[in-house]
Amino acid sequence: MNIGWKHAIASVVAVPIVGLFVGWTGLIGIGASGGHWAVTDWFLHWVMRNSVETAALSMEAPPLDDPALLPLAAGHYETACAVCHGSPAQPRSDAVLAMLPPPPDLQAVVPSWTDEQLFQIVQHGVRYTGMPAWPTQVRPDEAWAMAAFLRKLPDMDAAKYYDVSGLHQPPMEGEVSPMPITCESCHGERKLNSGSLIPSLAGQSEAYLLESLRAYAGGRRASGVMGVAVGTLPQEALPDLARYYAGQSRPERPVQSIDAALIERGRELAERGRPQDKIPACLSCHEKPGANPVYPKLSGQAQPYLERQLTLFKDGVRGGTRYHHLMTEAAKYLEEDDIAAASAYFATKAK
CB of 25 to ligand HEC, least distance (A): 28
Interface mask toward ligand HEC for 298-337; x: CB under 6 A: x-------x--xx---------xx-xx-xx--x-------
Binding-residue total with ligand HEC (CB under 6 A) = 67
92, 151, 152, 187: residue in contact with ligand HEC (rule CB under 6 A): 187
Residues 184, 273: contact at Cβ < 8 Å?
no
Listed residue (344, 317, 308, 340) closest to 68, CA to CA: 308
For ligand HEC, the closer of residues 199 and 300 by Cβ is 199
CB of 147 to ligand HEC, least distance (A): 8
All residues at 6 or more sequence positions from 292 whose CB lies less than 8 Å from its CB, including other chains: 285, 323
For ligand HEC, the closer of residues 157 and 335 by Cβ is 335
For ligand HEC, the closer of residues 11 and 292 by Cβ is 292
Q: At what angle do helices 324-331 and 303-314 cross, to 10 degrees?
A: 90
296, 300, 304, 340: residue in contact with ligand HEC (rule CB under 6 A): 296
d(CA 335, CA 319): 20
Distance of CA 255 to the CA centre of its chain: 26
d(CA 204, CA 241): 12
Residues 338, 306: contact at Cβ < 8 Å?
no
CB of 49 to ligand HEC, least distance (A): 8
Sign of the C-alpha dihedral computed for residues 242, 247, 252 and 258 taken in this order: positive
Residues 115, 225: contact at Cβ < 8 Å?
no
83, 133, 158, 207: residue in contact with ligand HEC (rule CB under 6 A): 83
51, 107, 114, 129: residue in contact with ligand HEC (rule CB under 6 A): 129
Instruction: For residue 109, state whether it binds ligand HEC (rule: CB under 6 A).
Output: yes
For ligand HEC, the closer of residues 14 and 99 by Cβ is 99
CB of 170 to ligand HEC, least distance (A): 19
d(CA 20, CA 319): 47
> DSSP character for 168?
P
Q: Maximum Cα–Cα distance for the chain, whole Å?
A: 89
32: phi then psi, degrees, rounded to nearest 5: -90, -10
Instruction: For residue 76, state whether it binds ligand HEC (rule: CB under 6 A).
Output: yes
CA distance readout (Å), 250 to 68, 101, 297, 308: 19, 47, 11, 20
CB of 27 to ligand HEC, least distance (A): 25
130 residue type, one letter = G
80, 89, 156, 262: residue in contact with ligand HEC (rule CB under 6 A): 80
Residues that bind ligand HEC (CB under 6 A): 45, 48, 72, 75-76, 80-81, 83-85, 99, 101, 103-104, 106, 109, 118, 121-122, 126, 129-132, 146, 150, 181, 183, 185-187, 198-199, 201, 204, 209, 212-213, 221, 223, 225-226, 229-230, 233, 241, 269, 279-280, 282, 284-286, 295-296, 298, 306, 309-310, 320-321, 323-324, 326-327, 330, 342
